[in-house]
Amino acid sequence: MKPTIPPLLIYALRRLLQAIPVIILIMMGTFLLLKMAPGDTVDALVGDMGGADAAFIARLRAEYGLDQPIWVQLWRYMVKLATFDLGRSFVYEQPVATVLMDRLGTTLLLMATSLSLAFSIGITLGAFAARRAYSLADNLISTLGLIFYATPSFFLSLMMMLLFSVKLGWLPVGGIKTIAGFYTGWDHVVDVARHLVMPTAALSLIYLSFYLRLMRSSVMQVADQDFVRTARAKGAGETRLMVHHIMRNALLPAVTLFGLQFSTLLGGSVVVETIFTLPGLGQLAYQSVIQRDMNTLMGIIFLCSIIVILVNFLTDLLYARLDSRIELS
Amino acid sequence: MTVEAKPILEVRDLRIALPKGSDRPFALQGLNLNVHAGEIVCMVGESGSGKSLSAGAIMRLLPEPHVTVAGGEITFEGEDLLAKSEAEMRKLRGNRISMIFQEPMTALNPQKTVGWQIDEVLKLHMGAKRKERQAHAIEMLKRVHIPDPESAYNAYPHQISGGQRQRVMIAMALALSPKLVIADEPTTALDVTTQLQILKLIRDLQKEEGAGVLFITHDFGVVAEIADHVIVLRQGEVVEQGPAGQVLNDPQHPYTQALIASVPDLLPPPHKPVTTRPTVLKGTGLRKTFAARGGLLTGKRKAVVAVKDLSFELHQGETLGVVGESGSGKTTVSRLVTRLLDADAGAVEVDGTDLLACSPAELRGMRKHIQMVFQDPMASLNPRKRVVDIIAQGPIVHGEDPEKARARARELLELVELSPAAANRFPHEFSGGQRQRIGIARALAMEPKVIVADEPVSALDVSVQAQVLKLLAELRHRMNLSLLFVTHDLRVAAQLCDRIIVMQKGEVVEAGFTAEVFADPQHPYTRNLLASIPGRTWTPPYRKTDAA
Amino acid sequence: MTVLDTDLRPAEPPRYVVFWRRYRRNRAALLGLFLFAIVVLMALTAGLVDPGDPLRRAGQPLVPPFVDASTPLGTDQLGRSILSQLFYGARISLLVGVLATLVSIIIGIVIGALAGYFGGWVDDLLMRVTEAFQTIPNFVLLLTLVAILGSKIEWITVAIGVVSWTAPARMVRAEFMSLRNREFVDAARNLGVSNTSLIFREILPNALPPIIVYASVIMALSILLESALAFLGLGDPNYASWGNMIGQGRAVLRTAWYCSAIPGIAIVLTVLSFSLLGEGLNDAMNPRQKQ
Amino acid sequence: MKKQLIGLGVACLTASTALTPGMASAQEVKKGGTAIIHMISEQRTLNPALRASTGVYNISGKIVEPLIDRSYDGYEPVLATDWSGSDDGLTITVKLRENVRWHDGEDFTCDDVSFTAMEMWKELLNYSSALQANLESVDCPDPHTAVFNYSKPMPLDLFVAAMPDLGHPMPKHLYEGTDILNNPYNTAPVGTGPFKFVEYERGQYVMAEKNDDYWREGFPYLDRIVWRFIKDKSAAAAALEAGEVHESGFIGVSMADVVRLSEDDRFDVGTEGYENNVAHSTVEFNHRNPILADLKVRQAIYHGLDIDYAIDTIMRGFAAPGRGPVPKAGGDNYTDDVKTYDYDVELAKKMLDEAGYPVKDDGFRFKLRHRPAPWGEYTQLWGEYFAQAMREINIDVEILTNDAPGFLNGVYRDHDFDTANGWHQFRSDPAVSTTVWLRSGQPEGTPWSNQFGWKSEEMDQMIDDAASELDPEARAEMYHEIQRKEMEEIPVIFAIEHPFISVTSKKLKNHHNTPRWNSSSWYDLWLDE
């Protein structure tokens, strides 16, 4: 007999195999798409420098390999990618992997805090509103949710910055840490946290409203189901119903959404990172588009695909853990 | 009736108000009933009669504030339930009054183990230690005859069968020896053989415990099987009540009489010489295996054999019944024969042409010869289309002039006894029986050689069922139709079919003339099936109405 | 005696009446409808409010609201009337919202319908493509598309549609997968109806209600996306749009708050109206969810 | 207020008369502290010998010093102490400062100058590579003398004028034998300046600290300088107000905030310190379009532009109308004796009628596809103003917006435009980067050069002659002629000349005291905190 492989591993391998064509599709698509854009990174560079002469421009283009036919460039890129070599960033003149790793921490921190805040608060408020459906509290929460949803994040960011930084002076305007503050240990943590308050709020509110609304309808739907009636007929009180019977079932759609939202969040962080000068991947992506920094943008998208696929894998596992109907082996 | 002891439950003049804009102001108008210890009271009625809401009122679990008790009294062991606070009610529920629901799949929390859910009742009301409670729960599982109670204790609801789930519900309901058990259609979703076992179980346990049972059902067969006392409800009003024997065999109210008369009896028609007529539909060596899609972690699951080597012949003007329980493959047969599913092997000849060998274009042409009537009158009509278009669609697809097709559709509506004025309505404006008539009209519009009817009456109330069956019988006679009739209901099969095929797990276990099979079943499975028909010993007294 | 099964119930009022009755039960949805009507009205009457070019110089730059009668809501940095830009901006916002939504829904329906109806390898292939689109952060893709196509309003609209189709595609696919096995589809197939007709005539109309409800979400998101683009300076300057107004107005946010606050509020209210509208539609089209 | 500012702006343009604001002579100098400077964008490199850009100098100017810098009193020796040219213009001899050490302790010598000049200035540095095209070699007769040998005459004036921007020596010992473009020191520069490079966090900041071994005794005053990258102008203004940033240069906040902060007594707001960095707002024509090839049409368009209004609304008064390719900051090379075009809508319409473009049924004469440069708020508003103004004289304008590469490609390579607007930055001398706007024969795809399809052999000749003229006075007169000719023919409208604007916290002292202050070394800057 074959040695038994843990089912989790088989599952992970199977998912990996499914993910590879998607990633290849994404990478080739993005490459060709970017090549359709007018101008290249040398144009952007020359624009940044305030001009250059023709020979200089031609030499740079050859240096970056941009004088080759597109198919040659694509082939070279994909071959390198196959060995996980993301190439060098034209703009940062560093290996793309280094550039990305510099930014990844900030972005992950921002996304993790935003998503977990949005998730936990949204779910709590949504469940609360659902249990008091159509009451004053519900209306208040639902209205708040709608306003969070309808307010553009950049508008919110500017308003918060005006209030909390300029008028009240409570929070720093931007950045990830106090530069030349040289904080260490706990002070550093507090410092970073203070810098993240506003960006996190600006980024999470719209997602908070998503979870709030989803959870509200999900709880109301589950509360109508037969097994809740059964529990009631057993003499269970409202708290018990909520904790043991409704929440776990109502959480399932929210968990699914969690996985799907990860990449949207990265897009949403472009604007917020730009306003708050956070050195994250969102801003980097935007800059890379504008500067036609092919390798960096491709690297971001590659990294993002991997993160998204990983997050989806983890949410699936979480889902399977939460939903006993899905068998683990 | 004599009053020997004080009843456990007394309901006096109970009235339940429906929200504004409903079709009637009260769901229940003046319900009176008593349940004594050791007695099973059956509340019978068709859908919309208010029987489930009365159970909700007793448990104080009505969907307030939309539906409320408008008046009356509910007294349980001398206490006024309507006056109790929610906290007091919570102490009663599951403890002294308990309830068994209809759908055992949805009535159990899918995310908790069976043991946890039984334990919840004990935790809420018993106050014993965990070990004790677990022992008690396992003991209860044993009492409801669940094989291997220890492992069932740790199983999730989806891991056990439907019948076992209902046993778990019963174990849960009886765990604390309640004085009153309310059972709301507890066997409706179950196969006939399982149904009989569950009914027996309820009866036995109730005898042991001496509890009073309020049993809600729509099925007179079940009533005959289990009831001591019967209450007949119609549109929220009690039309008749009395001891079971009296109501079943000598109903006084015309409604009761009509209902009872609608119950098909188990006397098959005398067999006609159908086998000598020409064959219109012939199935040979049909086989279908479902390769189930991959599970989350496992990749592939075991393939399920739905139909294994099935052969049959249907003659001109004959009705051939395909009978079996769920999972027997009978529905797959109806889909294979119409090629809505592609068979893995075999042939289906309609008038000598093999349907399964047709090209897509030929198939579309062939389709008009073999039409189908579906099970679910709700799902089988496109909700976004007008009735006339639904009926005329087939002929139009096959090249008929649209105007002519619509005119013909109106005629067909009359043929199925619906007013042609209904032609421009949408399906949701019709009752279930009417929709099934529309479905029949749609099939007839194609003037098919064969009609395949897949459980056409199983979703209907018994009185409506009788009327639709009558219509089918008449049409068959008038138009010389050949019917392949798929059903799980042996009573219905007995009434309509000339010959039957009995299926079990994809295989034919017995085939023959209906009367012969019923009179002398050869296969043990057939015997078991026939023996499980609820109320099989009871023959409805008279057939005053005009059911076939 | 029992009621004869063949007696018809009294005829129901026409569908739109039933629809309206259900819709108006939700007061918030009525508010949404009211707001939406105002936006539509603004779009329609823009030509009446200001028959000229909303981008022309209408007065001194940076006049505050309620000061000059000829520019009731004030002027921006280039002396353009905020009121007329607001009215003409309603046109652009609605146009972007509606057309981008149409684009995304149409792509979503085609892909979702094919994947859901046929299943198998078609489904696998289309779902891989959908996943690929879903994996790329949509705003980054949008920025890339705008970089390629330029900031013409037509292209912005198409680009927004192109980055928003995955959710409707998945929804349509799920609806199709559940509907394709419904008996009425089998019934129609059994009548000899072709695949194309089955997809578009039988299944699609039944799959539409949740999509229509979701369209209100896409519409709201489209307007937010357009304004975010304009905020980054990638809007189309040939048209007055609310996003452009905010994008330019934020430079003078501290001294002339009204330049960005007025269009900002317009965006909030419009997005709010779409989402309330969506809830009302949901209540009216899926009545079983209520109660 | 506004009028005052205009006065201030214009006054400062005449460099020598400007007083140094924030003069600290009365105050005791405080040593130490960290100055935090706002940067709106991030450059790819910090090596000023590879990239000629104010964005690079703004940071690297504190770390790497040029041979010669500019002060309000003229050219000031930095790493060079003296310079002279031969009569034939073929050699220029530069004396180098002694006892100067690189931050890593090595001595600064002529070898460094020679290496940098030949390997970077001539080969890799934008603009410089054209300027130094005729540089044959740099000889080192002794470690502190550098002799530049040219194959064609190089005017000493031009050489000196170019040196502050294009004359930064880099340490040979760190670059020799390496791939210069990918040398890690390009983003971690080693120089001789008052501050030493510490770290560069991409997207966040660059930090430099005091060089204790600086050759100017007792300098610098500051302990540290941090450059913070803040892309969003509103956020930058907020950071200034919150005290998180001390200075924002190159119009790093929106014009509305410039005006607002100028009324805030915590800040000095002004145009001082940019006299060497003046820019023109341009309107560029595509002469391949026959309508625009017609001089009358171009003149009519010029008459249709209300330059004063644009200065008032867009630049809030911090600018002056342009008078041809050389700005006032051009010194002797500048003249205002040129033809001008007043704002006159009726005249403009009349000229267009005469040119044969009457108003058609749709209310317009013709349509122009206009590309505004995406260099932020200012150029975009200019583009929209242009469209607004053109519609007044019945010319329909469609604005095509793209990001930077799209714009540069669309205008300078594909020539897919009718009109465009953007910036031209003046770099001390017209020969460095200005005459390429007028000289024909520029290779296709070179941004900020004559890609307009305009060719005048007369102009080409004038430009070539001026470039090799050695006599300063004759040279100046030749540039005056070029300006006059340009204003006659208007191949490009140099519509507005504007300096940049800084917002500076009053805590900073000795700021903006040189004509290219943001690019200078800040050895005497101090912080009153």
- Secondary structure (DSSP) of B269-284: PPPP-GGGSPEEEEEE
Q: What is the ipTM of this complex?
A: 0.82
- The CATH number of D193-275+501-527, from 3.40.190.10, 3.30.470.20, 3.30.710.10, 3.60.21.10, is 3.40.190.10
- A262 and A281: one domain? yes
- Classified as helix, coil or strand, D251 is coil
Q: What is the pLDDT of residue C270?
A: 92
Q: What does the block give as tokens for C146?
A: 């705008």
Question: For residue B322, what pLDDT is reported?
Answer: 93
Q: What's the mean pLDDT in B253-260? A: 88
Chain B residues in contact with A323 (beta carbon < 8 A): 110-111
Last residue in a domain, options A69, A96, A123: A96
Same domain, A283 and A134: yes
**In this structure, is residue A264 part of a structural domain?**
yes
> Considering only A3-7, A262-266, B205-209, which range has the smallest mean pLDDT?
A3-7
Task: Tell whether the model's pLDDT for residue B544 goes beyond 70.
Answer: no
**What domains sit in chain B, N to C, each tagged with a CATH number?**
1-96+180-263 (3.40.50.300), 104-175 (no CATH), 317-341+358-547 (3.40.50.300)
The answer to whether C39 faces chain A, any CB pair under 8 Å, is no
Q: Is C78 in Cβ contact with D388 (below 8 Å)?
A: yes
pLDDT band, very low/low/confident/very high, at B301 (cuts 50, 70, 90)? low
What is the biggest distance separating any 2 CA atoms in chain D, rounded to whole angstroms? 77
Is residue A33 within 8 A of residue C144, CB to CB? The reply is yes
Least confident range of A1-15, B209-223, D159-173? A1-15
Taking CB atoms and an 8 Å cutoff, what residues of chain D touch A52?
A: 126-127, 446-447
CA distances from D272 to A57, D8, D70, D164, D269 (A): 33, 9, 14, 17, 9
A21's tokens: 């064509």
Same domain for A77 and A210, yes or no, is no
**CA-to-CA dists, residue C94 to C247, D43, D449, angstroms:** 18, 40, 42
Instruction: Judge whether C217 is closer than 8 Å to chain A, CB to CB.
Output: no
Q: Yes or no: is domain D278-499 CATH 3.10.105.10?
A: yes
Query: Measured between alpha carbons, how far is B61 from B16 in angstroms, rounded to an integer?
Result: 12
Among the partner residues A21, A260, A289, nearest to C143 by beta-carbon distance: A289
CATH fold, domain C15-285, is: MetI-like fold (1.10.3720)
Contact between B365 and C5 using a beta-carbon 8 Å cutoff: no
Chain B's closest residue to A245, CA to CA, is B109
Count of domains in chain A?
2
Contact (Cβ atoms closer than 8 angstroms) between residue B438 and residue B390: yes
- Please choose, from the candidates C261, A188, B370, C259, the residue with its C-alpha nearest in 3D space to the C-alpha of residue D256: C259
* Summary mean pLDDT of chain C: 87
Q: Write out pLDDT tens, residues A151-195.
A: 888 888 888 888 888 788 888 888 888 776 778 888 888 888 999
Question: Which one is predicted more confidently, C250 or C44?
Answer: C44
What is the value of pTM for the model shown?
A: 0.84
Fold annotation for D64-174: Dipeptide-binding Protein; domain 1 (3.90.76)
At A326, is the pLDDT very low, low, confident or very high (cuts 50, 70, 90)?
Answer: low
Position B297 scores a pLDDT of 43
Q: Region A223-249: what's the mean pLDDT?
A: 87
Same domain, A20 and A53: yes
Q: Quick one: tokens of D156?
A: 């000493």
Residues of A in contact with B59 (CB under 8 A): 233
Residue C128 has its nearest CB partner, among A22, A142, A290, at A22
Are C78 and D385 a contacting pair at CB < 8 A?
A: yes
The pLDDT-based confidence of C90 (bands split at 50, 70, 90) is very high
Residue D297 pLDDT greater than 60, yes or no: yes
Q: What is the pLDDT of residue B235?
A: 86
> Is residue C248 within 8 angstroms of chain D, CB to CB?
yes
Spatial contact of D144 and D95, defined as CB atoms under 8 Å apart: yes
Return the pLDDT at C287: 55
A328 belongs to a structural domain? no
C-alpha pair distances (Å), D513 with each of A314, D520, D522: 60, 10, 9
Q: What is the predicted pLDDT for the residue at B371?
A: 92
- Alpha-carbon distance of D472 to D461, in angstroms, equals 18
Which residue of chain B is at minimal alpha-carbon distance from C22? B21
Same domain (yes/no): A149, A279: yes
**Which of D126, D266, D434, D516 would you mutate first to test chain A, the one with the most A CBs within 10 A?**
D126
- Taking residues D447-465, what's their average pLDDT? 89
Size of interface A-C (CB pairs under 8 A): 122
CA D3 to chain centre: 25
Q: Write out the two tokens for B99.
A: 């309830």
pLDDT of residue A327: 58
Domain boundary among A72, A96, A120: A96
Examine the pLDDT at B300 and tell me if it is beyond 70. no
A48 touches chain D (CB under 8 A): yes
Residue D256 pLDDT > 80, yes or no?
A: yes
Is A275 within a domain? yes
Backbone angles phi, psi at B514, to 5 degrees: -55, -50
User: Tell me: the pLDDT tens digits for A194-214?
Assistant: 999 999 999 898 889 989 988
Contact C218, C101 (CB under 8 A): yes
Nearest residue to A102 via CA among A308, A311, A303 = A303
Q: Is D440 on the interface with A (CB under 8 A)?
A: no
pLDDT of residue B453: 93
D3 pLDDT tier (thresholds 50, 70, 90): very low
Of C141, C220, C231, the CB nearest to A271: C231
pLDDT at D208: 95
CB-CB under 8 Å, D313 with C77: yes
Least confident among B264-268, C132-136, D66-70, D414-418: B264-268
Residue A22 and residue A115 in one domain = no
Q: How close C182 comes to chain B (CA, Å)?
A: 6
Specify if A327 maps to a domain: no
Return the axis-axis angle of helices C242-249 and D377-392, rounded to nearest 10°.
120
Q: Provide the chain C residues 1-60 that lie in CB contact (below 8 A) with chain D.
A: 53, 55-57
pLDDT of residue D14: 37
State how far residue B284 is from chain A, nearest Cα, in angstroms: 38
Q: Give the separation between CA A318 and CA A320, rounded to whole angstroms.
A: 5
**What is the per-residue pLDDT across D17-66, written as a single tens digit (0 to 9) for each?**
334 444 445 578 899 899 999 998 888 789 999 888 888 899 999 999 99
Mean of the per-residue pLDDT values of chain B: 86
Q: Is residue A17 part of a domain?
A: yes
Tell me which residue range forms the domain holding A277: 101-322
**Which residues in chain A have Cβ-Cβ distances shorter than 8 Å to B112?**
244-245, 324
Inside any domain, residue A329: no
Contact A51 D447 (CB under 8 A): yes
Q: Which residues of C touch B370 (CB under 8 A)?
A: 190
pLDDT band at D248 (very low <50, low <70, confident <90, very high): very high
Domain-by-domain residue ranges, chain C?
Answer: 15-285
Strand partners, B319: B483
List the domain boundaries for chain D.
64-174, 193-275+501-527, 278-499
Residue A119 sits in the same domain as residue A156: yes
Are residues A167 and A63 part of one domain? no
* N-terminal to C-terminal alpha carbon distance within chain A: 18
The DSSP string of B161-198 is -HHHHHHHHHHHHHTT--SEEEEESTTTTS-HHHHHHH
**Rounded to an integer, what distance in angstroms lies between the CA atom of residue A192 and that of residue D467?**
55
Is A155 touching C (CB cutoff 8 A)?
Answer: yes
In angstroms, the CA C209 to CA C205 distance is: 8
How far apart CA B490 and CA B530 sit, in angstroms, is 7
**Residue of A221, A230, A256 to mutate, interface with B, max B Cβ within 10 Å:** A230
Return all residues near D195 (Cβ < 8 A) that are at least 6 apart: D62, D63, D208, D209, D210, D211, D220, D222, D224, D225, D521, D522
Quote the Cα angle for B109-B110-B116, to 5°: 60
- Across-strand partners of B134? none
pLDDT score of D412 more than 80: yes
**Triad A23, A24, A25: Cα angle to 5°:** 90
pLDDT value, residue A5: 67
Of C132, C143, C275, the CB nearest to A26: C132
User: E strands of B252-380, at which residues?
Assistant: 279-290, 304-315, 319-324, 345-350, 353-354, 370-373
Torsion sign across C-alpha atoms D317, D321, D325, D329: negative
Residue B172 region by backbone torsions, left for phi larger than 0, else alpha for psi between -120 and 50, else beta: alpha
Q: Under the phi-then-psi rule, with left for phi > 0, alpha for psi from -120 to 50, and beta for the rest, what region is B399? A: left
Q: In chain B, helix, strand, coil percent, each to 5?
A: 40, 25, 35
CA distance to partner chain A, nearest, from residue C182 (Å): 23
Contact B96, B144 (CB under 8 A): no
For β-strands D205-210 and D195-201, DSSP reports them as: antiparallel
Please state whether at least 3 CB pairs lie below 8 Å between chains A and B: yes
Judge whether residue B545 has pLDDT over 60. no
Task: Tell me, yes or no, whether A193 and A285 share the same domain.
Answer: yes
CB contact under 8 A, D235 and A174: yes
Q: Are residues A132 and A244 in the same domain?
A: yes
Q: Does pLDDT of B292 surpass 60?
A: no
Q: Which carries the bigger pLDDT value, residue A210 or residue A56? A: A210
Q: Find the mean pLDDT for residues B483-505.
A: 90
CATH of the domain at A126: 1.10.3720.10
- Count of C-beta atoms within a 10 Å radius of residue B482: 25
Sign of CA dihedral A159, A160, A166, A168: positive
Report residue B53: phi and psi, to 5°. Answer: -65, -30
Span of A189-203, A261-275, B86-100, C223-237 with lowest mean pLDDT: A261-275
Encode pLDDT of C147-163 as tens digits: 888 888 999 999 999 99
Q: Say whether pLDDT at A117 is over 50.
A: yes
List beta partners, residue D280.
Answer: D424, D497
The percent of residues in chain B predicted with pLDDT above 70, rounded, is 95
D247-248/D492-498 β-pairing: unpaired
